Amino acid sequence: MPQTENYEKARGRAEAKYGFFVHAAVYAAVMVLLVVIDLLTSPGTIWFIWPLIGWGLAVALHAARVFLLADRDTIIDAMTQDELRQLGTDKRAEGNSRKRPDQ
Q: What angle do CA 10, 13, 19 make, to 5 degrees?
A: 140
pLDDT tens column, 6-49: 888 889 889 999 999 999 999 999 999 999 999 999 989 999 99
pLDDT of 91 reads 47
Query: By percentage, how much of the chain surpasses pLDDT 70?
Result: 82
10 Å Cβ neighbour count for 38?
Answer: 17
What burial class does residue 52 get, using C-beta atoms within 10 Å of its C-beta: 0-12 exposed, 13-18 middle, 19+ buried? middle
